[in-house]
Amino acid sequence: MIKVAMTGVFVDDVAKAHVFYTDVLGFETRTDLDLGGGTRFVTVGAPDGAQPDLQLLLEPGDSPIAEPYRLALYAAGIPCIVFSVDDIRAEYDRLLGLGVRFTHAPQEQGPVIAAVFDDTVGNLVQLTQPKG
């Protein structure tokens, strides 16, 4: 059986992303390694043992390949990643209270309710909750 172990999101500032993804979104740090030369290898994951095998790599997005990709997604309004939540309206209110800027509030989109926010490090992120 093949399972997803890690996926990455390109960010324009790894340290700032680490703070946002842990302190604001509520992920926990799984790995934080100093690779030297100001480079860090940082992964986060769902808290409390949820999805213990799945990590999100906060990857420097300033490479000649990553930066145009990240900028193009953002300019087109396309989220780089989708997170699921149990109660999107509660999570939306919680994040608004923490100063998170949403590009659209929760709304029905096919089989889900979705909202999109700016992660402060160059990306749009979508939250979803199944309808019903």
Looking at the domain assignment, is residue 116 inside a domain? yes
Looking at the domain assignment, is residue 33 inside a domain? yes
**pLDDT tens readout for residues 65-101:** 999 999 999 999 999 999 999 999 999 999 999 999 9
Looking at the domain assignment, is residue 47 inside a domain? yes
Looking at the domain assignment, is residue 112 inside a domain? yes
**Domain at 29, CATH number:** 3.10.180.10
Looking at the domain assignment, is residue 75 inside a domain? yes
Q: What percent of the chain has pLDDT over 70?
A: 100
* Total count of domains within the chain: 1
Range of the domain at 103: 6-130
Looking at the domain assignment, is residue 1 inside a domain? no
Looking at the domain assignment, is residue 103 inside a domain? yes
pLDDT at 132 over 90: no
- Only one residue has tokens 């095998």, namely 53
Residues ≥6 apart with Cβ < 8 Å to 116: 77, 79, 102, 103, 104, 124, 125, 126, 127
